[in-house]
Amino acid sequence: MIRSRVIGCGAFLPANIVTNDDLAKRMDTSDEWIVARTGIRQRYIAVEGQKTSDLALGAAREALADAGIAVDALDMIICATTTPDESFPATATVVQSRLGMTSGAAFDVQAVCSGFIYGLSIADSLIRTGSARTILVIGAETMSRLLDWNDRATCVLFGDGAGAVVLQACEGKGDNCDQGVLNTKLFSDGRLHDLLYADGGVSSTQTAGKLRMQGKEVFKHAVTNISAAVHASVEAAGIPLSDIDWFVPHQANQRILDGTARKLGLDPAKVVSTVALHGNTSAASVPLALVTAVRDGRIKRGDLVLLEAMGGGFTWAAALIRW
Ligand code: ACO
């Protein structure tokens, strides 16, 4: 059978680091409060004029170089983002043009913090059904543009950045020893809209709005839903959780990571955490954490890697990959 295999990955962060102490100079907060409640110590914030496509392009170029392929080899670009450059066209088409890709297709996916795994799932399906051979999947955000900087309960949590992977078709036997994406699981429940949303949009207010969140409620649902997605993925693969070498969670909050690890009985040493450095970068969070653990040598060829995420909608998702 055809599998989709990760042949390269890349990341891009803006140069501008904003620490908790920097925020404390601008609003009534403190490093102690933010670290104790979230584990976040700093975040990267795009400079004026720097757009989501700029970050996406940086991650895309690094992923293509890592894969050792030219842009002509790509059949498709999927960009997961909640903070597109414009209402239309898709940010993926901006990246397509700036990469010099003149064929194939490019489109965006909107599933907020779960967007990268949604994009990965679509790419995997298109490759396995033979519709495409090589797809670039990007998660890129400038969340700083969607924040209400007067709301200290939300603006301290988020950051900007981008991560990307190149998926390519390969031959597999159809078992869990195959290299590549073994399964993806996608979920949503639109009834939970009011817990996390932007209070604007083209068809409602003709503005982008600002991020609104009921933090305590989000926290409770996050641990439950992420655990359910993880179980769905390992059960579909017919493997025990203990077989997973690395868990790469959405980096929302260290307490959500710890709570989920406790609920699932995971070894904390297997959980990749970059939330202290990046904050919550929404759709960019999972690929940024993934690339961090690949570059520092933790994730190696042959390892079983489980990605998981949850975000506005609510949406939540998991992906099991033999690296
Ligand atoms: N600095 C200092 N004090 C603050 C800050 C801040 N940045 N923000 C809020 N406070 C104050 C509040 O005003 C409140 O003060 P009061 O008691 O005088 O009214 C107090 O701290 C407690 O506020 P709570 O909102 O009850 O704080 P809580 O313990 O719930 O922590 C937090 C808030 C960190 C947002 C928590 O609810 C949380 O982590 N939720 C998960 C949300 C999340 O991670 N969302 C990301 C998007 S969703 C996703 O990606 C899965």
Are residues 152 and 11 part of one domain?
Answer: yes
Domain that holds residue 37: 2-171
Are residues 220 and 128 part of one domain?
Answer: no
Pocket test for ligand 1, best of 37, 151, 260 (most atoms within 8 A of CB): 37
Rounded CA separation 175/177 (Å): 5
Are residues 210 and 90 part of one domain?
Answer: no
Are residues 230 and 130 part of one domain?
Answer: no
Ligand 1 centre and the CA of 97: distance in Å? Answer: 40
**Is 113 part of the annotated catalytic residue set?**
yes
Ramachandran assignment for 206, one of left (phi > 0), alpha (psi -120 to 50 degrees), beta (any other): left
Residue minimizing CA distance to atom 42 of ligand 1: 215
Predicted confidence (pLDDT) per residue in 125-153, tens digit: 999 999 999 999 999 999 999 999 999 99
**Is 231 part of the annotated catalytic residue set?**
no
Are residues 128 and 51 part of one domain?
Answer: yes
The sign one gets for the Cα dihedral 41, 195, 210, 223 is positive
Predicted confidence (pLDDT) per residue in 291-320, tens digit: 999 999 999 999 999 999 999 999 999 999
Q: Is 212 in the pocket of ligand 1 (CB under 6 A)?
A: no
Domain boundary among 171, 190, 214: 171
Are residues 136 and 77 part of one domain?
Answer: yes
How does strand 17-19 pair with strand 76-80?
Answer: unpaired
Are residues 156 and 29 part of one domain?
Answer: yes
**Is 155 part of the annotated catalytic residue set?**
no
CATH number at residue 94: 3.40.47.10
Are residues 200 and 155 part of one domain?
Answer: no
Domain boundary among 127, 142, 171: 171
pLDDT for position 80: 99
Nearest to 167 by CA among 54, 307, 277: 307
- Rounded to an integer, the average pLDDT of 185-211 is 98
Residue minimizing CA distance to atom 50 of ligand 1: 252
Q: Is 284 in the pocket of ligand 1 (CB under 6 A)?
A: no
Q: Which residues of 215-248 are buried (b: 16+ CB within 10 A; e: fewer)?
A: eeebbebbbebbbbbbebbbeebeeebeebebbb
Are residues 149 and 11 part of one domain?
Answer: yes
State which ligand 1 atom lies nearest to the alpha carbon of 216.
Answer: 37
pLDDT for position 251: 98
State which ligand 1 atom lies nearest to the alpha carbon of 154.
Answer: 35
* Total domains in the fold of the chain: 2
Rounded CA separation 167/117 (Å): 13
Beta bridge partners of 42: 19
Are residues 310 and 242 part of one domain?
Answer: yes
Rounded CA separation 226/255 (Å): 13
Rounded CA separation 104/96 (Å): 9
Are residues 184 and 161 part of one domain?
Answer: no
Predicted confidence (pLDDT) per residue in 246-294, tens digit: 999 999 999 999 999 999 999 999 999 999 999 999 999 999 999 999 9
Are residues 133 and 224 part of one domain?
Answer: no
Residue minimizing CA distance to atom 44 of ligand 1: 252
Q: In 10 A of CB 131, how many CB atoms?
A: 12
Domain boundary among 171, 201, 223: 171
